[in-house]
């Protein structure tokens, strides 16, 4: 049996990329790990990593032959398992990078390379990267170019990042992030209304001084 070259925390591998967006394939075994709005890291080298937010998760479409097989009366367990092992594809919005220990929330100078390993940022990495909130602008601007649901991505991301910041003692992070996004969205009535409703699930305690 061949030895896996993936790191234990690796989610999948990058298959296509541009400066501000990339896609990666996630094996079926990892499918339950990524979540919409998560911060992920594409490791180009030990010193150079590209950060992104998961903006879409899709599964491979079942083609005609596969549909025929599924519809067969004598569908085998093995066949079903094979079909379920179809990898998922993540669409990731690039929001910054870290180069030799220095975090930048600009678009990286080069897109991540193909087959780079992609992993979910751990809470420490999440807190470190999102402490400054300039990266949120990357999500807002993708709305027009890719059709990704920017408001939903942001709401999901803030919900998850809030937990990490609360745990790290950054009691104001949620309020500051919501304030910043509201400020950027205030000229867009419909988006702001959507955003307000989308973040309703964030616990009220995160909006209070002291958490």
Partner 1 sequence: MSMQNNGIRLIGHVTSGTIDRISVRLHVSPKSVREGTFLKIKDGEDEYLGLLTDFELNATNPKYTEGFGLGQTPDHIAKLIKGQIFSSNIIFHPSLSLYGNKVYPIRNIPEHLAPVYIASAEDIRAVFGDPSDPANFVIGTTREDKHPVCLNLDKLVQRSSGVFGASGTGKSFTVRMILAGLIHYDQASILVLDMHNEYGLDDIASDTGERVTGLKTKFPAKVRVVSVGAGTTIRGNTPDFNLEIPSSDITTGDIELLTEELGLKETTSTTLAALYTEFGQSWFKAFRMMKVGAVIPEDPTKPNSRMIPAPDSVAAWANKAGVNSIAAEGLHSKMERVFHRPYVNHKPAVNGISEVIKMLEDGKHVVLSFGDNDSDLDYMLVSNILTRRIRQAWECKTNAYRNKSTNKTGAPRPLTIVVEEAHKLLCPALANQTTFGTIAREMRKYFVTLMIIDQRPSQISSEVLSQIGTRVSSWLGDDDDIQSTLAGLPGKEALRGMLSRLRPKEEALLMGWGVSMSMPVKTRRYDSRFWKELLGNIPITSGMSATGSTPISPDTSGTPSQEVDNTDEPKPSTDKLLKGLGW
Select the residue interacting with partner 1 from 127, 139, 142, 161 (CB under 8 A).
Answer: 127
CA max distance for the chain: 61
The DSSP call for residue 148 is -
Choose the stretch contacting partner 1; rule: CB under 8 A; options: 6-14, 23-31, 135-143, 191-199.
191-199
The DSSP call for residue 131 is S
Alpha helices in 34-119 (DSSP H): 64-71, 77-84
Nearer to partner 1, 26 or 94 (CB): 94
User: 154 with 95: CB under 8 angstroms?
Assistant: no
What SS3 class is residue 56?
A: strand
CA 81-14-52 angle, to 5 degrees, is 115
Nearer to partner 1, 25 or 118 (CB): 118
Helices 136-146/173-185 angle, 10° precision:
40
Choose the stretch contacting partner 1; rule: CB under 8 A; options: 20-28, 31-39, 61-69, 176-184.
176-184
At residue 139, φ and ψ (nearest 5 deg) are -70, -40
Nearer to partner 1, 18 or 186 (CB): 186
Report in angstroms how near the CB of residue 148 gets to partner 1 at its nearest. 23
Nearer to partner 1, 76 or 124 (CB): 124
8 binds partner 1 (CB under 8 A): no
| 189: its two tokens | 């009535």
210 binds partner 1 (CB under 8 A): yes
Instruction: Look at residues 185, 198, 179, 183 and name the one whose alpha carbon lies nearest to residue 143.
Output: 185
Nearer to partner 1, 2 or 169 (CB): 169
Report in angstroms how near the CB of residue 116 gets to partner 1 at its nearest. 17
131 binds partner 1 (CB under 8 A): yes
Sites of contact with partner 1 (CB under 8 A): 98, 100-101, 103, 124-125, 127-128, 131-132, 168-172, 175-176, 178-179, 182-183, 186-187, 189, 192-193, 196-197, 199-200, 202, 204, 207-210
């Amino acid at each position: 049996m061949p030895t896996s070259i993936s790191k234990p925390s690796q989610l999948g591998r990058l298959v296509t990329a541009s400066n501000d967006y990339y896609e990666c394939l996630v094996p079926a075994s990892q499918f339950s790990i990524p979540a919409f709005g998560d911060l992920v890291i594409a490791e180009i080298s030990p010193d150079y990593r590209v950060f992104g937010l998961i903006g879409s998760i899709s599964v491979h479409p079942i083609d005609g032959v596969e549909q025929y097989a599924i519809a067969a009366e004598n569908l085998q367990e093995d066949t079903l398992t094979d079909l379920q092992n179809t990898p998922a594809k993540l669409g990731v919005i690039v929001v910054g990078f870290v180069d030799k220990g220095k975090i930048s929330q600009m678009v990286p100078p080069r897109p991540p390379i193909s087959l780079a390993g992609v992993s979910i940022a751990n809470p420490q990495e999440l807190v470190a990267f999102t402490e400054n909130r300039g990266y949120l602008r990357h999500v807002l601007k993708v709305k027009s170019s890719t059709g990704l649901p920017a408001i939903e991505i942001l709401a999901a991301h803030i919900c998850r990042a809030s937990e990490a910041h609360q745990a790290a003692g950054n009691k104001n992070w949620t309020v500051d992030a919501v304030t910043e996004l509201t400020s950027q969205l205030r000229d867009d009535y419909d988006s702001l209304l959507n955003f307000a409703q989308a973040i309703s699930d964030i616990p009220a305690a995160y909006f209070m001084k002291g958490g």
